[in-house]
Structure 1
Amino acid sequence: MTGDQHLRAGVVGLGMIGGGVAVSLARSGRAPVTYDIRPDAANDLAGVPQPLDSPAAVARSSDVVMVAVVDAAQARDVIGGENGLLSAARPGLTIVLLATVALPVVRELAELCAQSDVAFLDCGVTPGDKAAEHGMVAIVGGEQDTVDAARPVLDDWAKKVVHCGPVGAGMATKIARNVITYGSWRTVFEAAALAGAAGVGPARLAEVVDTADPEGRTLLQLLRMHGPDGALPRAVGRQIAPLMTKDLDAARDLAGALGVPVPLVDATRLQARRTLELGDEPLPAKDELHDFGLEMMDRVYGPGFNTALRDRDPDPFLNETVDYLFAQVWGRAGLSVRDRRLLTLGVAAATGRAELIQIIAGGGLVNNELTTDQLHEAVLHLALYTGWCNATATHAGVTAAIAAHSPGSSAPSPHQEQK
Structure 2
Amino acid sequence: MHLYGTQSVNNLGHLTIGGVDAVELATTYGTPLLVYDIALFRQRAKAFKETFKQAGIKAQVAYASKAFSSIAIYEVAKQMNLSLDVVSGGELYTAVMADFPREKIHFHGNNKSFEELQYAFDEKIGCIVIDNFLEIELIKEISEARQQSMNVLLRVTPGVNASTHDYITTGQEDSKFGFDLKNGQADDAFLKLFNHPYITVLGMHCHIGSQIFETAAFRLAAEALMEKMVEWRKKFKFVCPVLNLGGGFGIRYTSEDKPLPPSDYVQEMENVVLSMTREHNYPLPEIWIEPGRSLVGDAGTTLYKTGSTKTVPGTRTYVAVDGGMSDNIRPALYGAKYTAVSAGKMMDPHLDKVTIAGKCCESGDKLIEDTYLAEPVEGDIVAVFCTGAYTYSMASNYNRLPKPAIVFCEDGEHQLIVRRETYEDIIKLDIPLQKTDSGKLS
- TM-score, L = length of structure 2: 0.23
Pick 1 or 2: higher relative contact order, CA cutoff 8 A, min separation 6.
2
Structure possessing the higher radius of gyration over alpha carbons: 1
Q: Which one has a larger percent strand, Structure 1 or Structure 2? A: 2
- TM-score, L = length of structure 1: 0.24
Q: Which one has a larger percent helix, Structure 1 or Structure 2? A: 1
